[in-house]
Amino acid sequence: MRKILFLLIFLLSNSALANLDNKINYIADILIKEQYLINDSKERADFVKRQLIEKSAKSLDNKKLEKIIDDNTSFVDIKEEIKKRIKANYTEEEVNRLMAILETKEMRKLAKDVLSKVLTMPHFKMDKEKIIYEVKELKNK
């Protein structure tokens, strides 16, 4: 009897977790579809790259410098990052409230305020230390 009860509790808890994951996945899909996220990750990365090139020594070959920067820049999987941050910042009850907010188009306008913790995220990462090291190596050649 205990084994059956344990198995039943285990299955119900797994079902609840899967249900929460489905809700979080749904919220992430809506945020991406409705473009509440800043969609200019590539443009921002290019802007940072241009700034780095302008501030570097003029004697460096810009193509080589661009390659170093591009090789050390990676873009974040936005949906996975949203899901991770929702799990980290919101309880199941708050996720349920978010679902309710996002159900109607009129209420979605309020989502920006509610989801500010999730929406303020960088969408690309640059390994600045490696870029600096490789630029120094390039200068020394």
Look at residue 75 and give its three-state secondary structure: strand
Q: Is the pTM of this model over 0.75?
A: no
Chain segment 29-66, per-residue pLDDT in tens: 777 766 655 555 666 677 777 777 777 656 667 777 77
Structure-derived torsion over alpha carbons of residues 98, 103, 106, 109, reported in degrees to the nearest 10: 30
Percent of the chain beyond pLDDT 70?
57
Instruction: Identify the pLDDT of residue 106.
Output: 64
Cβ 120 vs Cβ 37: under 8 Å: no
Residue whose tokens read 């590539």: 42
- Token readout for 90 is 């919101």
